[in-house]
Amino acid sequence: MYPFTYSRATDVADAVRDKAGHDGSAYVGGGTNLIDLMKMNVEQPAHLVNVAKLPLAKIEDLPNGGLRLGATATNSDTAWNEQVKARYPLLNQAILAGASPQLRNAATNGGNLMQRTRCYYFYDLATPCNKREPGSGCSAIGGFNRIHAILGASEACIATHPSDMCVALAALAPTVRVSGPQGERSIAFEDFHRLPGDHPEFDNTLAEGELITSLDLPEKGFAKHFAYLKLRDRHSYAFALVSVAVGLEMDGDTITDARLALGGVAHKPWRDHSAEALLKGQHATAETFGRVAAHVVANAVGQGSNDFKIELARRAIVRALKQAAEGKQEAGDVYLGGQ
Amino acid sequence: MSQLLTRAPASGGLPAPVPTGPVRLHINGETQTLQLAPWTSLLDALREYAHLTGTKKGCDHGQCGACTVLVNGRRINSCLTLAVMHEDDDITTIEGLGTPDNLSPLQQAFVDHDAFQCGYCTPGQICSAQGLLNEGRAHSEAEIKELMSGNLCRCGAYVGILDAVSEVANSQGEMVK
C-alpha cells in the first residue's frame, strides 16, 4: 500500500478534531471496504482516524420505544442481538444475507452505510469513472453493466449501492445520528444516501468531517410480517443482483401498513413510497402483489447486460410480498430466506 | 524492512524514511512488539514480521478467506485490517491452535476426513471453523455450509471440510439436527 499516517481516536470529539486537523483524512471502522479500496489506490487518504474502538458499540433501548444501534457495533453483533432478532427480524436476515461471517465480524454499522459501489469500473483505474474521477465519463454505460442500476440512474453514473443491511434499514426508516465540526444532527435514513445525478462522487449527504454515531430505529419493526429476499449469482457470499425488503402490518388478510425497499437496483437503497401506498388497505392477493410489483418497475431502464433485472425485480417483489404476508420467515442465526 | 522509502521531499536530497512505530501484538499467547508502518496489514505483519507463515495470502482482498485468523476469539480476514489497529488484541493463528504433535480437534478432523487437497486454504478454513465453533451457531449441516461460505477451496474439498467441521461440532454438542 502507499504511505499514510494513522491515529486512534479516544472519543467522538477527539475523532472529529483529529480528522479536521488532517487534510485528505478518513475515518476507518472495520476497514473491510476502505482498506480494500486503498490497496487498489481507488481511495488514498493521507491520514486514517481509527474510530473502531470508540465507545459506540452498544445496542440499547430508546425512551420512545425504539432501539439504538451503535455505529461501531459490528454487523455480527447487531444481527445476533436478541432485541434485533425479536423486534427487527428483517434487519437480522438482511445483515446475515450479506458478506461472510469474517467480514461481518469486522464491519461496523456506520461503515456499512459508508461502503462504496462494487462497480468494476470504479475499481479499475485504467478506465474512466465519474464517481472516482468526476468528469472523466462512465465506462459502465455501454460497457459491461450486469450488476448496474435500473432505477434512478443518471447519464453520469449507473452504479448500485452494494449493502444488504441498508435495504432493510430503508424499510425500517431509522434516523442516522452524526457528529461533526458543526455539532450533532440527525438525518432521516432515506435522506442519507443520494442518487447520482450530476455528482456521483457523492454517495451520501454527510458534510465534511461528520462521523456516524448511531442508527436509531423507530419502535415499529414489522416483526410478524416481513421478508428479505436476496437473489444472486451464487448461493452465498455474493452481492445481490436484486434484493427486496418487505415489512407489512396485517389485519386478517388486509394490509394496514407496508414498507417496500429494493437493493441492487439503484445508487441508493430504493424505497418506494407510492408502492407502499398502493398496498395499504388492499387484500394480500396475487393480484395486488402483481399490480404493485409492476408499478415499482414501470419506469425501470435497462442498460443492456442488466435488462434481466427488470423482470427479476418484478418477480422478486411479488415473491417477497407473498412471503411477508404469509409470515413464514423468521429471525435466525443464518440467512435462509427465499429458499 | 523496518524502513521503506517514499518519494523525495520537494527540497531535494535523500528520500524521507516513512514513519514506522512499535506495535504491541499478543500473538498465540506471546506478546511481541513489532516495528511496523501504519499500512502493514495484520496478514503481512504475521507473515513477514512475526514470521508466522501458516496464515496464507490468497486474494488479499477479503474474497477467499485464506487469511482468516481469530482476534479476541472472533474470526476476521487479516488482509483487510491494519496491524496497528490491533494493539493489545489477542490474535490466534493456525500455529496457535495446535502443534504437529498435539493437533487441535479441528486439525485432527481435517486430517481424518481428507478435508484438503493442495492445503493452501486449510489454515484459513480451520481458523474459520474454530471461529464458528466459538460462535456456537453450527447447529446443522446447512448452517455450517452457510457460515463457512467466507472460505473458498479451489480444489473443491468442501465435502471433506463439511464432514470435518460437522464431526467436531457434533462432538462438542453443537449440532441439534
pLDDT, tens digit, 9 for 90 and up, residues A110-166 = 999 999 999 999 999 999 999 999 999 999 999 999 999 999 999 999 999 999 999
Q: Tell whether the model's pLDDT for residue B5 goes beyond 50.
A: no
Q: Report the residue of chain B nearest A50, measured CA to CA.
A: B85
Number of Cβ within 10 Å of residue B48's Cβ equals: 16
pLDDT digits (tens, 9 = 90+) for B57-99: 999 999 999 999 999 999 999 999 999 999 989 999 999 999 9
- Among B36, B82, B128, the strongest candidate for a mutation testing the A interface, having the largest count of A CBs within 10 A, is B82
CA distance A143 to A146: 9
Number of Cβ within 10 Å of residue A224's Cβ equals: 12
* Of A1, A8, A335, Cβ closest to residue B39: A1
Q: Tell whether the model's pLDDT for residue B13 goes beyond 70.
A: no
A42: containing domain: 5-52
CA distance B19 to A215: 36
B75 touches chain A (CB under 8 A): yes
A142 in a structural domain: no
A239 in a structural domain: yes
All three cell numbers of A151, joined, read: 432505477
Please report the DSSP string for chain B in residue order.
----B-PPPTT-SSPPBPP-EEEEEEETTEEEEEEE-TT-BHHHIIIIIS--TTS--SSSSSSS-TTEEEETTEEEEGGGSBGGGGTT-EEE-HHHH-BTTB--HHHHHHHHTT--SS-TTHHHHHHHHHHHHHHT---SHHHHHHHTTT---TT--HHHHHHHHHHHHHHTT----
Q: Tell whether the model's pLDDT for residue B146 goes beyond 60.
A: yes
pLDDT digits (tens, 9 = 90+) for A305-325: 999 999 999 999 999 999 999
CB-CB contact of A245 with A263 (8 Å):
yes
Counted domains in chain A: 2
CB-CB contact of A51 with A29 (8 Å):
yes
Angle at B105 between CA B102 and CA B107, to 5 degrees: 75
Q: Tell whether the model's pLDDT for residue B142 goes beyond 50.
A: yes
Phi, psi of B166 (to 5 degrees): -60, -40
Surface-to-core class of residue A99, CB atoms within 10 Å of its CB (0-12 exposed, 13-18 middle, 19+ buried): buried
**Strand order of the sheet with strand B68-71?**
B30-36, B21-27, B90-92, B68-71, B74-77
B149 touches chain A (CB under 8 A): yes
Question: Under DSSP, is residue A152 helix (H, G, I), strand (E, B) or coil?
Answer: coil
A276 in a structural domain: yes
A98 in a structural domain: no
Q: Give me the percent of chain A exceeding a pLDDT of 90.
A: 98
pLDDT band at B174 (very low <50, low <70, confident <90, very high): confident
Cross-strand pairs, B32: B25
Number of Cβ within 10 Å of residue B136's Cβ equals: 11
3-state secondary structure A10-47: CCHHHHHHHHHCCCCEEEECCCCCHHHHHHCCCCCCCE
Q: Report the residue of chain A nearest B59, measured CA to CA.
A: A36
Q: What is the pLDDT of residue B15?
A: 59
Phi, psi of B70 (to 5 degrees): -105, 125
* Of B6, B82, B128, Cβ closest to residue A3: B6
All three cell numbers of A304, joined, read: 443492456
Helix H or strand E segment including A67: strand A67-70
Residue found by looking up cell 513477514 in the block: B48
CB-CB contact of B65 with B83 (8 Å):
no
* Of A6, A80, A100, Cβ closest to residue B65: A100
| Pairs of CB atoms within 8 A across A/B | 99
* Of B74, B139, B150, Cβ closest to residue A100: B150
Please report the DSSP string for A225-283 in residue order.
EEEEEEE-SSSSSS--SEEEEEEEEEETTEEEEEEEEEESSSSS-EE-HHHHHHHTT-B
Q: What is the CATH number of the domain that holds A16?
A: 3.30.43.10
A256 in a structural domain: yes
pLDDT digits (tens, 9 = 90+) for A150-183: 999 999 999 999 999 999 999 999 999 999 999 9
- With CB atoms and an 8 Å threshold, state whether A100 touches B143: no
CB-CB contact of B134 with B78 (8 Å):
no
All three cell numbers of A223, joined, read: 416483526
- With CB atoms and an 8 Å threshold, state whether A3 touches B131: no
Q: Tell whether the model's pLDDT for residue B105 goes beyond 70.
A: yes
A317 in a structural domain: yes
CB-CB contact of A265 with A301 (8 Å):
no
Tell me the residues of chain B between 78 and 117 that have a Cβ less than 8 Å away from chain A: 80-82, 84-85, 87
Q: What is the CATH number of domain B105-171?
A: 1.10.150.120
* Of A2, A50, A334, Cβ closest to residue B147: A334
CB-CB contact of A260 with A279 (8 Å):
yes
| Domain boundaries defined on chain B | 21-97, 105-171
Q: What is the pLDDT of residue A322?
A: 98
**Cβ contacts of B84 on chain A, cutoff 8 Å:** 6, 50
> Which CATH architecture is the domain B21-97 placed in?
Roll (3.10)
Q: What is the pLDDT of residue B19?
A: 78
Contacts of B33 (CB under 8 A, 6+ apart): B22, B23, B24, B25
Surface-to-core class of residue A290, CB atoms within 10 Å of its CB (0-12 exposed, 13-18 middle, 19+ buried): middle
CA distance A301 to A309: 9
**B114 dihedral zone (left: phi>0; alpha: psi -120 to 50; beta):** left
- With CB atoms and an 8 Å threshold, state whether A6 touches B62: no
Kindly state the average pLDDT of the residues A90-115: 98
Q: Report the residue of chain A nearest B151, measured CA to CA.
A: A100
All three cell numbers of A94, joined, read: 438482511
**Cβ contacts of B138 on chain A, cutoff 8 Å:** none
CA distance A159 to A196: 8
**A308 dihedral zone (left: phi>0; alpha: psi -120 to 50; beta):** alpha
Q: What is the pLDDT of residue B16?
A: 60
- With CB atoms and an 8 Å threshold, state whether A35 touches B41: yes
Q: Tell whether the model's pLDDT for residue B2 goes beyond 70.
A: no
Cα separations (Å) of A300 from A146, A156, A248?
15, 17, 24
Q: Tell whether the model's pLDDT for residue B3 goes beyond 90.
A: no
- Please give the mean pLDDT across all residues of chain B: 92
Q: What is the CATH number of the domain that holds A279?
A: 3.30.390.50
